[in-house]
Amino acid sequence: MADYKPTEMMTIAAARSLKNDDICFVGIGQPSAACNLARLTHAPGITLIYESGTLATKPTVLPLSIGDGELCDTALTTVSVPEMFRYWLQGGRIKVGFLGGAQIDKFANLNTTVVGPYDKPKVRLPGGGGAPEIAISCSEIFIIMAQGKRSFVDKLDFVTSIGHVSGGDSRAKLGVKTKGPTKLITDLAIWAPDPETREMTVVSIHPGVTREQIQENTGWPVKFAATVDETPVPTAQELEVLRELHARTNRAHAAA
């Protein structure tokens, strides 16, 4: 079995969920790594869109910021930010949106705003950015987050962007027609919403991870699907391409 880190398993599992004909709204960090890994392995035709307005971009190194010159240089075209949010995101032209956050609850609602009360925060986080509208406008949402008791919480301090709200048909009742989070990919497992309750449920466990470990790193009682798969181990090719991508990126960011 190949030697790999849990975060590498997370990125690789996320990359595998993407298809060649997907059109993705990509965030910085883990989502960007996963999307570009997919593009460099099984999904060369994938369309990657960053909110800086760069459409169908093919960066050689991962951008540090959402609007690095690399994204613009390798894009099919670059549009203004109002056009990006109005025509492309709100217009319903994006299939998969990637999100992450500081906190997530069992219905995959996310907090990236504050820890503690809004008016007197213990930690002021960056805030929503594009997330509130990405969460409702993309056909479906994939979430990538490492698990832990402080991030997988029973109750969010602030709802920055909605997932399945309070479960059942509560999302649809708000008038939102898109699917919301269909996948939650962590360093331990892959989760998907229960068809009825919409609670995020473990559907695949990464190799070597136990159910107890998943529970220990989750702030609510974890539901497991009737059939739980084992996530296939990263292939040598997946690991090689991902590590080369990160090495190229680190060299580029250190130089500039």
Partner 1 sequence: MARITKLSEAIAGAVQDGDTIALEGFTHLIPHAACHEIIRQGRKNLTLIRMTPDLVYDQMIGMGCAAKLVFSWGGNPGVGSLHRFRDAIENGWPHRLEIEEHSHAAMANAYEAGAAGLPCAIFRGYIGGDLPKVNAKIKRVTCPFTGEELAAIPAHRPDVAIIHAQRADRAGNVMIEGVLGVQKEAVLASKRSVVTVEEIVDELPERSLNAVVLPHWTVGNVVAVPGGAFPSYAQGYYPRSNSFYKQWDEIAKDRDSFHAWMKTNVLDKGPEAFAQYARKHKAAAE
Residues taking part in catalysis: 51
List 12, 16, 41, 53, residue binding partner 1 (CB under 8 A): 53
Residue closer to partner 1, measured from CB, 161 or 204: 161
| Interacting span for partner 1 (CB under 8 A) from 78-86, 96-104, 199-207, 217-225 | 78-86
By CB under 8 A, is residue 148 in contact with partner 1?
Answer: no
CA–CA dist 118, 113 (Å, integer): 8
Question: Using CB under 8 A, which of the segments 37-45, 95-103, 142-150, 152-160 binds partner 1?
Answer: 152-160
- C-beta neighbour count of 119 within 10 angstroms: 6
* Cα(165)–Cα(68) distance, integer angstroms: 34
Task: Select from 6, 17, 74, 79 the one that contacts partner 1 (CB under 8 A).
Answer: 79
8-state DSSP, 147 = -
Q: How far apart are CA 57 and CA 78, in angstroms?
A: 9
With respect to partner 1, which residue has the nearer C-beta, 66 or 146? 66
Q: Determine how β-strand 140-144 pairs with β-strand 123-124.
A: unpaired
List, as one string, the DSSP characters of 33-97.
HHHHHHHHTT-TT-EEEETTTEES---SS--SSTT-HHHHHT-SEE--HHHIIIIIIITT--SEE
**For residues 126 and 114, what is the distance between their CA atoms, to the nearest angstrom?**
8
- Nearer CB in complex with partner 1: 1/254: 254
Instruction: Classify 31 as helix, strand or coil.
Output: helix
Give the closest residue to 179 by CA, choosing from 141, 123, 235: 141
* 253 binding partner 1? (CB under 8 A): yes
Nearest residue (CB) to partner 1, 26 versus 189 = 26
Exactly one of 60, 90, 210, 235 binds partner 1 (CB under 8 A); that residue is 90
Q: Can you tell me the distance from the alpha carbon of 246 to that of 61, in angstroms, rounded to the nearest whole number? A: 8
Q: Distance (Å, rounded) from C-alpha 233 to C-alpha 129? A: 34
174 near partner 1, rule: CB under 8 A: yes
Contact map string, positions 4 to 43, toward partner 1, x by CB under 8 A: ------------------------xx--------------
Cβ–Cβ under 8 Å, residues 164 and 171: yes
Positions in 194-233 near partner 1 (CB under 8 A) = none
- Give me the least distance between CB of 142 and partner 1, in Å please: 19
With CB under 8 A as the contact rule, the residue among 11, 30, 36, 137 that binds partner 1 is 137
Nearer to partner 1, 124 or 149 (CB): 124
Binding site for partner 1 (CB under 8 A): 28-29, 51-54, 63-69, 71-72, 78-82, 84-86, 89-90, 113, 118-119, 121-133, 136-137, 158-162, 165, 171, 174-176, 252-256
